[in-house]
Amino acid sequence: MLTASIPSPDPSWASFSVGPLTIHAYALCILAGILVATLITERRLRGRGVPEGFVFDIVVWAVPLGIVVARFYHVFTHVGDYFYPGANLWDVFAIWDGGNALFGSLLGGALGIWIACRRRRIPFSIAVDALALGLLAAQAIGRLGNWFNQELFGLPTTLPWGLEISPDAAMFPAGTAPGTLFHPLFLYEMLWNLIGIGIILLLERRTTMGWGRSIGVYFIWYGLGRSWLEAIRIDPSSDAPLGIPANIWTSGAAILLGIVILVVQQRRHGREPQPAYAATAEVA
């Protein structure tokens, strides 16, 4: 008999109608994350001397590209879920049902930030360092969307914070007994991201950062978190080159990228603080 657990929301909570529109809780969580990230990043950009409002240039480019590449990455690593006899190919574009890979969003978002920086002639390292905390905050908030969709859970557990998943949920593992509790990976990742915010803030206050180091720490921290979470994740449809889930490969690449950023920038700049952006930038 269960004495404690984390309940999943009623399926009716996943969406609601406003007139002819259907509003999905998953989308609201993503939008809330984007809003919080925008506010945090704007403040950090201003503190680095970047003109007011540049964050909206980032949003205009990074958000659409992040969404598109995130969906592409998810579909690419879950080909069997979308391409099979009788499949509805329009499901490839159903981002409101979940399936927007964060690693894909990082790739698309990075391209968008680079474009925005090129247009306004603002150093890329200043922009991404300012964004590091906002990314972690947005990802923490966005993970609530996985709770509403009853997805992103791990292996069965008897721990008191085990997650209840409805046997009727699309992601409920076949052959698993109803009432089984699972590791709440969405919650683990939320907490991991919040701890990451604290670590970056601590490093920025006690050490010399700048020059892209904050985003380097972000990549290392996020890659480490996703590595151990993916190791206990239930996601049988995910591609697994050499028997290793694709997201673990990507996590390793993120960790390596973060280490390279820190090592290269340490050799180039040492303890030299990065000067604030002070130039008057015009659109190129």
Tell me: the pLDDT tens digits for 178-233? 889 999 999 999 999 999 999 999 999 988 888 889 999 999 999 999 999 988 88
| Dihedral angle of Cα 98, 103, 107, 112, to the nearest 10 degrees | 50
Domain-located, residue 1:
no
Extract the tokens encoding 284.
């190129």
Question: Quick one: tokens of 21?
Answer: 């529109």
Domain annotation covers residue 127: yes
* pLDDT of res. 50: 92
Domain range enclosing 100: 20-269
The pLDDT, as a whole number, for residue 97 is 63
Confidence of residue 19 (pLDDT cuts 50, 70, 90): confident
Does any domain span residue 60?
yes
What is the number of domains present in the chain?
Answer: 1
- The pLDDT score that the predictor gives to residue 284 is 32
- The predicted model scores a pTM of 0.83
Residue 160 lies in a domain: yes
Please tell me which residue, 256 or 96, carries the higher pLDDT value.
256
Q: Is 232 exposed, middle or buried (0-12, 13-18, 19+ CB in 10 A)?
A: middle
Contact 237, 81 (CB under 8 A): yes
Longest dimension (CA), the chain: 66
Indicate whether 115 belongs to any domain.
yes
Query: What proportion of the chain, given as a percentage, has pLDDT over 70?
Result: 88
The reply to whether 143 sits in an annotated binding site is yes
Residue 11 lies in a domain: no
Residue 12 lies in a domain: no
b or e along 185-199 (b: 16 or more beta carbons within 10 Å of the residue's beta carbon)?
A: bbbbbbebbeebbee
Weakest-pLDDT range from 73-87, 154-168, 224-238, 270-284: 270-284
Please check whether residue 258 lies inside any domain of the structure. Answer: yes
Nearest CA-CA partner of 39 in 123, 9, 31? 31
When pLDDT is averaged across residues 258-267 and rounded to a whole number, the result is: 92
Percent of the chain with pLDDT over 90: 45
Average pLDDT over residues 233-237: 68
Is the pLDDT score of 3 beyond 70?
A: no
